[in-house]
Amino acid sequence: MTDQADQSRRNFLYVAAGGLGGVAAVGTLVPFIGSMMPAADTLAAAKTEFDVSTVEAGQLVTIQWQGKPVFVVNRTAELLAQVDGHDDMLKDPNSEAIEAVQQPWMDTPEKRKYRAIKPEYLIVVASCTHLGCIPLFKPSAGRKEWGDSVPENWPGGWHCPCHGSLYDISARVINGSPAPHNLHVMPYTYTSDTTVVIG
C-alpha cells in the first residue's frame, strides 16, 4: 500500500472513532441531564386544584401543596367579624414584613386584612413560622372552649402548642408569640366560582 492510502485509511479511522466517541458521550450525558429534571410526581405537585365548596361553613380542612400542609378555612360571617378590632395585638397586621406573607393578589386593604381573594376562604401554609409545627385551629373567641391555652382576650384563630405562638382568624401572628411572621400565603387563583388552583 502506498503512503497516501495509509493516510486516508488512518483519517477514516480517526473520524469514525471520533464520531463513535461523540455518540457515546451524548448517550452518557442524556440520562445524566435527565436525572436532574424534576420527577413527574413533583411536577404534578407544583399545582394543586381544590374545590373550596367542599369545606363547610366554619370548617377547616388540610390539603397538600408541594409536600406542604395547607389550611383551607371557610369563614362564617361571625368568624369574619372577628378579624376586626385587635390590630394593636398583631405584629404585622397588613402582612408586609416579608415576601412569604404577601402575594400580588393582595392589592386592596380588604384583601390584606382578610389575607384572601374571597374573604370567606382563607388559604395559608399550615406551618408555624417559628419552628414549622402545625398550629391547632381554635376559632371561637375567648377562653370558654380553650381554657388557659389562649389569652383572656383571645380573638379566635390558631394556637401552636409547641411553643405557644398565636395567630388570629386571618393567620396573622399575635404580639408576644415566638413566631416571627404571619402564616405564609401562596400564589393561587380561582378558575371558577369555587375551584382554586394553588401554585
DSSP code, position 70: E
The catalytic residue among 86, 130, 159, 163 is 163
DSSP state, 48? E
Q: Could you give the CA distance from residue 65 to residue 20 in angstroms, rounded to a whole number?
A: 46
Residue 67: name the closest of 131, 130, 123, 125 by CA: 125
- Assess whether 163 carries a catalytic annotation: yes
3 state SS of 56: coil
CB atoms within 10 A of CB 90: 19
Q: Tens digit of pLDDT per residue, the chain (199 long)?
A: 567 767 777 777 777 778 787 787 777 777 777 677 666 666 556 889 999 999 999 999 999 998 899 999 999 999 999 999 899 999 999 988 888 888 998 999 999 999 999 999 999 999 999 988 999 999 998 888 888 888 889 899 999 988 989 999 999 999 999 999 999 998 999 999 999 999 8
